[in-house]
């Protein structure tokens, strides 16, 4: 069985992430979205909240699962017996960062393949960080995230704008 992981912090999951996950789910027999519990950046949502938001968002994708993890991504990939890691590339700055990570991951786990997918054009600019900034200032992000995520964002920032 071909298994891939799609790791990230997903704080929160966006339509760009879902675009990548949906397309990767067509390529692999099983896709596991790996939610990194403690990335080296401030988080708006807890790991449990992020997992739940993703589970709701991928409910119609039967071969996609969600799991949180800590530590090295390659260790997570080995634990779930993944042969590939899926990453999204939005722009050239993503490429440089992803290339560096890919080379390190290849050193740590030579058998793990990297598959990069570009999101649809309308999501090329979209990042969770930018999304949170707009939402925190009361901007409308309804067309950039699933409905339940937009609602969760409004709830987090209620009275803070």
Q: Say if 137 falls within a structural domain.
A: no
Active site residue 17: yes
Structurally, the chain folds into a number of domains equal to 1
Active site residue 148: no
Q: Say if 71 falls within a structural domain.
A: yes
Give the burial class of 49: count Cβ atoms within 10 A of its Cβ; 0-12 exposed, 13-18 middle, 19 or more buried: middle
Residue 21: its H or E element: helix 15-27
pLDDT digits 0-9 by tens, 98-136: 888 889 999 999 999 999 999 999 998 889 999 999 999
Q: Say if 8 falls within a structural domain.
A: yes
Active site residue 128: yes
Question: Would the pLDDT of 159 be above 70?
Answer: no
Pick the closest to residue 138 from 115, 159, 114, 122 (CA basis). 159
From the candidates 9, 17, 50, 87, give the one annotated as an active-site residue.
17
Q: How confident is the model at residue 160 (pLDDT cuts 50, 70, 90)?
A: low
Domain housing 81: 3-124
Q: What is the pLDDT of the chain when averaged over all its residues?
A: 93
From the candidates 30, 55, 90, 154, give the one annotated as an active-site residue.
90
Question: Domain with 106 in it: what CATH number?
Answer: 3.40.50.620
Q: Say if 129 falls within a structural domain.
A: no
From the candidates 41, 81, 97, 147, give the one annotated as an active-site residue.
41
Q: Say if 52 falls within a structural domain.
A: yes
């Amino acid at each position: 069985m071909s298994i891939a992981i799609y790791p990230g912090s997903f704080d929160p999951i966006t339509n760009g992430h879902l675009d990548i996950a949906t397309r990767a789910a067509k390529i692999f027999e099983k896709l596991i979205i790996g939610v990194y519990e403690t990335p080296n950046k401030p988080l708006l949502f807890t790991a449990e909240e992020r997992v739940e938001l993703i589970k709701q968002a991928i409910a119609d994708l039967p071969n996609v699962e969600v799991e949180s993890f800590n530590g090295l991504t390659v260790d997570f990939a080995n634990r779930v017996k993944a042969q590939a890691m899926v990453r999204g590339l939005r722009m050239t700055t993503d490429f440089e960062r992803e290339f560096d990570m890919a080379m390190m991951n290849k050193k740590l786990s030579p058998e793990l393949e990297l598959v990069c997918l570009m999101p649809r054009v309308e999501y090329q600019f979209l990042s969770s960080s930018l999304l949170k900034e707009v939402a925190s200032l009361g901007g409308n992000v309804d067309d950039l995230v699933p409905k339940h995520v937009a609602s969760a964002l409004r709830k987090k920032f209620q009275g803070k704008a």
